[in-house]
Amino acid sequence: MKAYVVESWCEPKDLKFQEIKDPIPKQGEVLIEIKAAGVNFPDRLLMEGKYQERPTRPFIPGIEVSGVVIALGEGVTNHKVGDRVIALCWLGGYAEKVAVPEKDVYPMPASMNFEEGAGFIVTYQSSYFAVVERGHLKPSETLLVHSGAGGIGTSAIQIGKAIGAKIYATVGSEEKVEIAKRAGAELVLNYHDATWSKKIRKEYGGVDVVVDPVGGDVFGKSILCTNFEGRIVVVGFTSGVIPKIATNLLLLNNISLSGLYWNLYQRNFPMRIKSAVEQLNQWYMEGKLKPIVYKTYPLVEAPQALINVTTRKSFGKSILIP
């Protein structure tokens, strides 16, 4: 099969496109013919050796895929050959086939296409745990989502909307305002406008929950528009700047600050992941969630797709097609 391989820490342009042996499913694994693969910010961090964990090289990048089960390892009981599935592979997605532990393979709704499926694990799961598990968003509350046109942003907006909350969002350019509105945000502001936090606080009554995958100056201004007993959930730092916080600002309005490293749930609490998948699939079938696909690329164009995602030239999800 063909795949992109990381032989040494590198940038996307230095990825090697190679012909390698097909994977063989081990005990407890499912072999998937990949129909689509999601492109995610952590893919670049992994290949550059900058992620929280460093995989052994060589490895194939690619965290999430959708496809068809074509073989089963010994002991697999929950899947069969021919099943349409979505899967969290952590590594191996930038390829034509991948072997994945059975526990990380999930059913795909019958009405969902493979492009949507490939964008329905990492961002929707991360957003679910940020909004529901860490943010404890209630239907009567207001949710503020930063980078509202990105993968985390659009999925968090949709999940907040499914819960029944009022949704505000910020984006990094005027071109992305309509994307966040299309996802369901009622108010969208450009976070490069120095007054966005003041506007939300004074003109729109503040917010109860903040989901922040951006960091930098955006984080600091979020505290200033968060209501009494509000919750701020740190998801990432796509700005490239890890902010420092004056904790006295949290005291002034009894604000709670929490982080989300979703991998720990997947690794240590798989039943909570299973419950989240069931809820997300239900919301999808009810028409409350729909992944926004920016563009599909042939697998050979994976480096350019990844560059577009990590330099914020895309919105929603970017998808690779083997």
CATH of the domain at 187: 3.40.50.720
What is the total count of domains within the chain? Answer: 2
Q: What is the rounded CA–CA span in Å between residue 261 and residue 19?
A: 34
- Tell me: the pLDDT tens digits for 250-288? 999 999 999 999 989 988 898 899 899 999 999 999 999
Q: Are residues 222 and 204 in the same domain?
A: yes
The CATH number of the domain where 313 resides is what? 3.90.180.10
- Whether residue 244 sits in one domain with residue 317: no
Among 222, 246, 263, the domain-final residue is 263
- Per-residue pLDDT band for 225 (boundaries 50, 70, 90) equals very high
Q: Are residues 195 and 67 in the same domain?
A: no
End-to-end C-alpha distance for the chain, whole angstroms: 10
Q: Are 31 and 72 in contact (CB under 8 A)?
A: yes
Residue 259 lies in a domain: yes
Could you give the CA distance from residue 306 to residue 235 in angstroms, rounded to a whole number?
19
204 and 137: one domain? yes
Residue 140 resides in a domain: yes
Of the pLDDT bands very low, low, confident and very high (cuts 50, 70, 90), residue 238 is confident
State residue 15's pLDDT score.
Answer: 93
Whole-number percent of the chain with pLDDT over 70:
100
110 and 68 co-located in one domain: yes
- Identify the pLDDT of residue 250: 95
Q: Per-residue pLDDT for 240 more than 90?
A: no
Does residue 306 belong to any structural domain of this protein? yes
pLDDT at 266: 84
Residue 171 lies in a domain: yes
Question: pLDDT tens-digit profile of 69-122?
Answer: 999 999 999 999 999 999 999 999 999 999 999 999 999 999 999 999 999 999
276 is a domain residue: no
**How far apart are alpha carbons 98 and 89 in whole angstroms?**
8
Domain stops at, among 223, 246, 263 = 263
Q: In the prediction, which pLDDT does 55 show?
A: 94
Q: What is the 3-state secondary structure (H, E, C) of 140-170?
A: CCEEEECCCCCHHHHHHHHHHHHHCCEEEEE
Question: Which of 248, 263, 278 marks a domain boundary?
Answer: 263
Residue 155 has pLDDT above 90, yes or no: yes
Average pLDDT over residues 159-182: 96
- Residue 23 within a domain: yes
- In degrees to the nearest 10, what's the CA dihedral of 176, 182, 188, 191? -30
Residues 6+ apart with CB under 8 A from 19: 1, 2
Nearest CA to 235 out of 213, 214, 220, 218 is that of 213
Q: Cα(164)–Cα(305) distance, rounded to whole angstroms?
A: 34
Residues 81, 150: one domain? no
Domain assignment of residue 277, yes or no: no
What pLDDT is stored for residue 312 in this prediction? 80
pLDDT in tens, 310-322: 988 888 899 999 9
From 142, 148, 138, select the one nearest 225 (Cα to Cα). 142
Residue 170: both structure tokens together:
């910020």
> Cβ of 25: how many Cβ atoms within 10 Å?
22
Q: What is the mean pLDDT of the chain?
A: 95
- β-pairing, 142-145 vs 166-171, is parallel
Q: Which of 24, 18, 17 is nearest to 98 (CA)?
A: 24
**DSSP line for 65-107:** EEEEEEEE-TT--S--TT-EEEEE-SS--SBSEEEEEGGGEEE
6: which 2 tokens? Answer: 């990381």
Chain centroid offset of residue 161 CA: 17
CA distance 43 to 17: 16
Q: What is the pLDDT of residue 65?
A: 98
Please tell me whether residues 12 and 112 are part of one structural domain: yes
pLDDT in tens, 295-306: 999 999 999 999
Please give the Cα distance from 37 to 306 (Å, whole number). 12
**Radius of gyration of the chain measured on its C-alpha atoms:** 19
Q: Which two tokens stand for residue 30?
A: 């499912």
Name residue 315's amino acid: F
* Mean pLDDT across 186-197: 96
In which domain, by residue range, is 114 found? 2-120+291-321
Q: What is the pLDDT of residue 275?
A: 92
Residue 71 lies in a domain: yes
Do 116 and 129 sit in the same domain of this protein?
Answer: no
Q: In this structure, are 192 and 142 located in the same domain?
A: yes
CB neighbours of 153 closer than 8 A, spacing ≥ 6?
145, 146, 147, 169, 171, 180, 183, 213
Q: Residue 297: its pLDDT value, please?
A: 98
Letter for the amino acid at 121? Answer: I
Together in a domain, 146 and 109: no
106 and 194 share one domain: no
Residues 127 and 189 placed together within one structural domain of the fold: yes
